[in-house]
A and B are shown apart, each in its own frame.
Chain A
Amino acid sequence: AQSVTQLDSHVSVSEGTPVLLRCNYSSSYSPSLFWYVQHPNKGLQLLLKYTSAATLVKGINGFEAEFKKSETSFHLTKPSAHMSDAAEYFCVVSDRGSGGYNKLIFGAGTRLAVHP
């Protein structure tokens, strides 16, 4: 079965500094991986997804993630944090069900705080 581990429950950065949110996955086959963002009292928004094409994936709002099979990692980065980036971020792996459909398996989440 697939699983996801987000290595930090909270990350705090200053505005204008880089962001790194770490994620490791476990998968028995080549996975599809995603990052979702959730702003306070809001639903979930897809940031980016990896589906076995380019290993460096660019998403919305300047975020990107690199798939590293040898390290089973899919860390999320952004060169310069903005106040509006403060939110909770979820790393997600797609698990293939017996009927051929996909179920999303979520990590526990990383709460990003951005300070002036």
Chain B
Amino acid sequence: EIVLTQSPTTIAASPGEKVTITCRASSSVSYMYWYQQKPGASPKPWIYDTSKLASGVPNRFSGSGSGTSYSLTINTMETEDAATYYCQQWSSTPPTWTFGGGTKLELK
């Protein structure tokens, strides 16, 4: 089973700052997916196929990576970006979906 480890666990950023969240996989994966979750709400798809933005996601967000190392970057932090972000991967044999432990992004 592939394990996803996110870092940092918590990060505080000021508006305008650049933010990078990392997700490391215990084995190589083909793609990474990211979800945003705010308190009391369901997760929302945020980035898919490693670098594609889901519908409605601002283009200050970007995703990159390959193999065992992936990242989500916010070019310039905005107040509405404060949330918890989860990475996720899919393995085909056997079919399983795994989430990272989450990174809580707070406003400084």
The reply to whether chain A is a binding partner of chain B is no
Binding site for B on A (CB under 8 A): none
Binding site for A on B (CB under 8 A): none
